[in-house]
Amino acid sequence: MTSGWVEAMRAGDFARAWAINDRDLMQVAYPPKHSGPRHLQRIWRGEDLSGRHVMVRCYHGLGDTIQFLRFMRPLRDIARSVTLWCQAELLPLAAGAAGVDRAIPLHDGAPEIDFEVDIEIMEVPHAIRARMEQVGMAAPYVTLPPAPSFTAPAGRDLAVGLVWEVGDWDKRRVIPVALLGHLAMEGVTLCSLQRGARAEELDGIGARDISTPDIVALGHRLGQLDLLVCVDTMIAHLAGALGCEAWVLLHADCDWRWPRSGVRSLWYPSLRLFHQKSPGDWSNVIAELRDALRARLEAGQAIAAM
């Protein structure tokens, strides 16, 4: 990704972003289609998708797939059919997404379906020349199937979910769990959605474990919490796509999909962004977050007293 494309995407100047994509598409010499390892294949090369049976491949992370599901409806408006070849974990969400005729599980072999053209899901907005109104989210675009019941925290406390790391692949998106203990205050119940959290970590911040590997169940749990506090990872996209309130903590060199400053995202209206001021320093972010949480509590108490 060039710096010009990143800045165009951050600014919402999508016409310029697609023009940069067009230039790059013409300059790269590609191997024969569908040759080589699956994750190294370049699929779409500028073909018109109108009236075609289109297969959309989801090669990137779960969060990327959730974010770009919003483009399946406008794609289906021009295509004859849309098949989503996606991560198995997301099939229950993908199968019900607007514009998707069918969803099948992604694997390392060849897809067992007929199609006329295939495209990676993150290239769809470029292919359809997505406009601001197709990027900006007017309403939740993910629908959850039923899931096993979940007992939300009882009482009048503000139920706050926590996710503090993405794993080993990007240590910039890891917050020392002890820092989150500063969010423990009267009127707040902390709930961990962090998969694999250790008992001593949860005890150290006084959090209840409500994590689950099932994404549908996870979505339902988000809907029963008052607020999610998380780093930039899949659950932020899930909360945003569902319209759930989430506060997302971003490291200093945040990803292209987030603005460099400011608290709002054009991708997800229900998200509030908290930016790291200095690389590696989360202390100011947590202090800002604590102040915002206290203000949220006071506002809720004032409303309750009316």
Q: How confident is the model at residue 47 (pLDDT cuts 50, 70, 90)?
A: confident
Report whether pLDDT(249) > 90.
yes
Residue 151 has pLDDT above 80, yes or no: no
What is the pLDDT averaged over residues 125-134? 94
How far, in Å, CA of 83 to CA of 90, rounded? Answer: 14
Predicted pLDDT of residue 67: 97
Looking at 2.40.50, 3.30.70, 3.40.390, 3.40.50, the CATH number of the domain 30-135 comes to: 3.40.50
* Greatest distance between any 2 Cα atoms in the chain: 68
Q: Specify whether the CB–CB gap between 152 and 186 falls below 8 A.
A: no
Indicate if the pLDDT at residue 166 is higher than 60.
yes
Name the one residue in this structure whose structure tokens are 């007992």.
Answer: 151
46, 34 contact by CB (below 8 A) = no
d(CA 193, CA 216): 13
Query: What is the radius of gyration, based on Cα positions, of the chain?
Result: 21
| Domain segments of the chain as ranges | 30-135, 158-305
The sign of the dihedral angle between the CA atoms of 263, 122, 67, 73 is: positive
Judge if 30-135 and 158-305 fold alike in CATH terms.
yes
Q: What is the CATH number of domain 158-305?
A: 3.40.50.2000
Distances (CA, A) of 131 to 136, 170, 294: 9, 31, 38
304: which residues sit within 8 A by CB, 6+ positions away? 156
Confidence class for position 254, pLDDT limits 50, 70, 90: very high
Q: Are 182 and 162 in contact (CB under 8 A)?
A: no
Q: Which residues pair with 105 in a beta bridge?
A: 86
How are strands ordered across the β-sheet holding 53-57?
102-105, 81-86, 53-57, 117-120
pLDDT given at position 3 = 80
DSSP state of 32: S
pTM for this prediction: 0.92
Extract the tokens encoding 262.
């400011």
